[in-house]
Structure 1
Amino acid sequence: MKAFLKNSLIAVSLAIAAAPAAYAQNPTVGGAQMPSNRNIVENASNSPIHKTLVAAVKQAGLVDTLASPGPFTVFAPTDDAFAKLPAGTVETLMKPENKAQLTKILTAHVVAGDMSAGQILKRANDNGGSYKMKTVSGDTITAMPEGPGLALMDESGGKAVITIPDVDQSNGVIHVIDSVLLPK
């Protein structure tokens, strides 16, 4: 029993010691910590500014996919980004009969692989100022330098700006964006 308690205390001590390192590596999102040892779904669910995105991911049946090993690069629109859409759009997309359309929109925000904002910016700069990325939905989003950061353009000409880059996850990276990207 003593050995069990001793080993348990050691394990708890190690977990506590490791916790600050997981938090320190990532920016906060909406004031919430984003531990890099959690997956995309776990951290997005903890974000107070991604409630609409999380509800949409659940409705589209993408939770298991985005919790899988990946890796994925996710451009995550905030609640304010969804609020910019025309009135009633989110409610309409969340209806069961619109699951395919919702899934297409959400997967147009996901790129296979783990790409930091710096890597995307370098590829854009090396390619004359833009870098085209194929999304999981099969659509293309184009990254372009904007000021000190990056902007993304969807196939419909809509633009989003990365407001919080490089939120590392156990299965990829999240870049928080200020608008919803819409596939063609």
Structure 2
Amino acid sequence: MTKRTILTALAAGGMLALTACGSDSAEDAEASGEVGSETLAALVEEHEQLSTTAEILGDTGLQNVFDGNAPYTIFAPTDDAFDALDIPLDGEEAQAARVAILREHIVPGFLTRDDIVGAIESGGGSVEMQTMGSNTLTFSEDGGTLLVASSDGTEARVAGAVMSGANGSVFPIDGVLKSTDEPG
């Protein structure tokens, strides 16, 4: 078995364990246990609860990064999570803050739910991963729910089905994770 085949099999297994939250083409692929051919940018764009993340990607030019070939895993805050945030996200002056916020939610590499759960089990109940920013995310499980905590103690839960595409995975989460190094 090739490395790509093993990763594809792991991704498919992880997606079967989660429930679908819509009927988008990406989510249809997920429900059938397939890794979709869409890019991360397309997966975010298609998800009805990630419109704020999609808007930030487009406004800041990050969409081009996630349309590329490099693999990433995005822990994408839902629209409700952004609505609860007390940092302004509108206007040109907030562009740097928007990029900084998203950078703290991105991990290099193509990770599936099974990859993270396996690392949690091997790590004695939790596992840490460095983001593309200055944040360290700590993952754990509570009754089958995947939890993620920021280095500043902010916590979120995976809030919906994980979507896997051609260049990575998107995990919708119910909170915005902020590093202690970030203002606000």
TM-score, length of structure 2 as denominator length: 0.77
Q: 1:146 aligns with which of 142, 149, 155?
A: 142
* Structure with the higher helix share, 1 or 2: 1
Q: How much does 1:40 deviate? A: 0.9
Secondary structure of 1:94's aligned partner: coil
Matched letter for residue 153 of structure 1: A
| CA RMSD across the alignment | 2.0
Secondary structure of residue in 1 paired with 2:75:
strand
Alignment of 1:132-171 (within 5 A): 132-171=128-167
Structure 1 unmatched runs, 5+: 1-23
Structure 2 counterpart of 1:94: 90
Q: Which has the larger radius of gyration?
A: 1
Aligned residues: 157
Q: Is the 8 A contact 1:111 1:134 kept in 2?
A: yes
Q: Which residue matches 1:85?
A: 85
2:45 maps to which residue? 45
Encode CA deviations 1:1-37: one digit per residue, 9 max, x unaligned: xxxxxxxxxxxxxxxxxxxxxxx98964444231511
Residue 68 of structure 1 is matched in structure 2 by 68
Q: Does 1:178 align with 2:170?
A: no
TM-score, structure 1 normalization: 0.77
Give structure 2 stretches of 5+ with no counterpart: 1-14, 30-35
**1:115-172 CA deviation, whole Å, 9 max, x = no partner?**
1111111112211211111111132111111211210001221111012343111111
Local SS of the residue matching 1:163: coil
Identical-pair percentage: 26
Structure 1 residue matching 2:37: 3-state secondary structure: coil
What displacement does 1:105 show?
0.8
Q: 2:46 corresponds to which letter in structure 1?
A: N
**Which amino acid counterpart does residue 33 of structure 1 have in structure 2?**
S
